[in-house]
Structure 1
Amino acid sequence: MIAFIVRRLWQAALVMLVMSLLVFMGVFVIGNPVDVLISPDATQEIRDRVIAQYGLDLPVWQQYLQFMSNLLHGDLGRSFVYNMPVSELIASRLPATAELALTAVFMASLIGIPLGIYAGYKPDSWASKIIMALSILGFSVPTFWIGLMLIMVFAVQLGIMPAGGRGATISVLGVPVSFLTLDGLHHLALPAINLSLFKLSLMIRLAASGTREIMLTDTIKFARAAGINERTILRRHVLRLISIPLVTVFGLELGSTVAFAVVTETIYSWPGLGKLIIDSITSLDRPVMVAYLMLVSLLFITINLIVDLSYAVLDPRMRQGGGK
């Protein structure tokens, strides 16, 4: 197990190195931040001074080496627009995105997995057919359209939910959270529901297909022949056997939700990383763009490592293989 962890960490470091090069070069070719930072009416002397201040007069390879040197020392650079360290800027926005993503993924899992197991356990019932039909809608309808419809119905017409913002927050271990306040829950509900619908549909269909396949195996036949009741079969056998693909999807969807909650955060004016990256792209704030993409890469690598390690806990065969 230790050798596996060391090997994966080495692979992760190599992937992060390649990603840093691709991200830096990709962001470098997108526009010229000087056109945004400096007024067109500025003199050439002012332009030269600002360009030298941000190191934009250096060759690309030298800017990359300087970026990597600062990164190894924990310095992600300084935002061109906000004029503050990028690490502080991201740290101030990350709790909002993490709260929204965790709420959406946990909501999708807690609702989708039981519904999917029921749909796979009784595939011919009318309730199962309704569940599977609704899951198709979750895949088909665009997220931005659902978000706008939720605002129109619950915020505009009924007036029972806020249309945007994060609401009141309280500090827990220095981290502001909104789900512990009533006003924060009101603001969190609509964006969390909007963000969770696609994940909910995915969990339903994955759990349903896995349950239907496992119910036809000899394991379930032997369990029924031994007199084990159906509730115990579903809890101890079916749920355990479908847990590996569910854990994989849970981890990947959590990472993608944190990384790509841009649409939802923009629609609901949620002050998270998604809205920050949109504003940074608009203003060509290179340090923020590079830091965000590096953070997303690190997030996916970390989640993949955690998912791989969880396999050994869920599947005894992998533990035995690792021991050998």
Structure 2
Amino acid sequence: MLSFVLRRLGQSSILILIMSILVFVGMYVVSDPVAVLAGEDFTEEDRIALAEELGVNRPLVVQYLSFLKNIAQGDFGTSFVYNRPVLDLILERLPATLEVAVLAIGIGLTIGIPLGIYSGLNQRKPATKAISFTTTVGYSIPNFWQALLLILCFSVWLKWLPASGRGDTTDLFGIPVSFLNWDGLSHMLLPAINLAIYKICMQARLSRSGTQEVMYQDYMTFARAKGIGRDRLIRRHLMRNILIPIVTITGLELGGLIAFSTVTETVFSWPGIGKLLLDSIHHADRPIVVAYLILITLMFVTINFIVDVLYALLDPRIRYK
């Protein structure tokens, strides 16, 4: 197991290094920061002075090493628009994105897996056909249109939930969170449900296909022949085997929700990092875009590493290959 973990750590380190090169080339070499920051009244001397201040007149290798050094120290620069350290801005917005993403994943797992198992075990029942139809529709609806329908239904017609904003927050270890009071939680529900609908459909389809495959394996037939009850068969044998692809996909989807929930955050005016990224691209605030890409890369690599370890724990054959 230790050699498996060390191998994955080495692969993750190489991936982070490659991504840092791509980000550096994409944001520091292709574009000209002097042209972005220089005003119309800048003289040639002013441009040269600005280039020296930013360090873009140095050789590329020196610039890249300085770039890595600053990242290792947690220094991602200062925002052009907000005139504040970039890392502070991202860490301010990150809790809002994390709590919605975790709630959406929780809803998806809680509803999707039981629906999938039920569908796999009862393939000929009318409810299974209804679940299959609903999951297909859930896959097909565009995310932004689905968000507008949720606002129209629950905010405009029923007036049950607020349509935008984060609402009141409560400090938890110094971090403002929304789920500890009803006003904040009510503001969270629509964005989380909008993100969770696709996850429910995906988890239901994964669980259904896994159930249909596992139920006809020899060890399941043998367990039924031994007289093991249906409930124990599902808990001890079925769940363990269908969880392998579910854990893998869930880890990737959690990273995807944190990184790419820009549409949902924009529609619901949710103050997360996705909306911050969209605003920064609109205002050409390059330090925030660079920091976002680096941090999201680190997050994906970390999540993938954890998923690989869990995968190996669930299926010992993986770590011996």
State if a TM-score over 0.5 links the two structures. yes
Deviation at 1:54, TM superposition (A): 3.6
Shift, 1:237, TM fit:
1.2
Aligned pairs for 1:1-324 (under 5 A) are: 1-28=1-28, 32=32, 37-40=37-40, 50-58=50-58, 60-318=60-318, 321=320
Alpha-carbon distance in 2 for matches of 1:90, 1:99: 15
Corresponding residue SS for 2:171: strand
Q: Is the 8 A contact 1:27 1:286 kept in 2?
A: yes
How far, CA to CA, are the matches of 1:84 and 1:73 in structure 2?
Answer: 17
Mean Cα deviation higher: 62-71 or 161-170: 62-71
Q: Which amino acid aligns with 2:96?
A: A
SS at match of 1:242: helix
Report the CA distance shift for 1:267/1:256 in structure 2 as closer, same or farther (over 3 A).
same
Aligned residues: 321
Q: How far apart in 1 are the matches of 2:124 and 2:80?
A: 59
**5+ residue gaps in structure 2?**
none
Q: Which consecutive residues of structure 1, in runs of 5 or more, have no partner in the other structure?
A: none
- Seen in structure 2, the aligned counterparts of structure 1 residues 29 and 152 have a Cα distance that, compared at 3 Å, is farther
Q: Deviations over 1:161-182 (max 9, x none)?
A: 1111111111111221101110
Q: Residues 24-60 of structure 1: CA distance to partner in whole angstroms, max 9, x if unpaired?
A: 2122367555565455456666666555444455565
Distance in structure 1 (CA, Å) of the matches to 2:36 and 2:155: 36
SS of 2:176 mapped into structure 1: strand
1:287 deviates by 1.4
- Select between 112-121 and 48-57 the one with higher mean Cα deviation: 48-57
| CA shift digits 1:34-88 (9 cap, x unpaired) | 5654554566666665554444555655433321121122212222221111111
TM-score, length basis structure 1: 0.92
Question: Is the deviation greater in 309-318 or in 43-52?
Answer: 43-52
What SS does structure 1 have at the residue aligned with 2:163? coil
Identity of aligned residues (%): 50
**Structure 1 pair 174–79 and aligned structure 2 pair: CA distance change class (3 A):** same
Q: Secondary structure at the match of 1:227?
A: coil
SS in 2 for 1:176: strand
Residues 33 and 195 of structure 1, relative CA distance in 2, 3 Å threshold = farther
Q: CA deviation at 1:293?
A: 0.8
Instruction: Return closer, same or farther for 1:304/1:236 CA change in 2, 3 Å cut-off.
Output: same
* Contact 1:31–1:284 (Cα < 8 Å) also in 2: no
**AA matched with 1:63:** Q
In the aligned structure 2, how far is the partner of 1:159 from the partner of 1:313? 46
Q: CA RMSD, aligned part only?
A: 2.1
Greater displacement, 67-76 / 161-170: 67-76
Question: Normalised by the size of structure 2, how large is the TM-score?
Answer: 0.93
**Paired letter, 1:267:** V
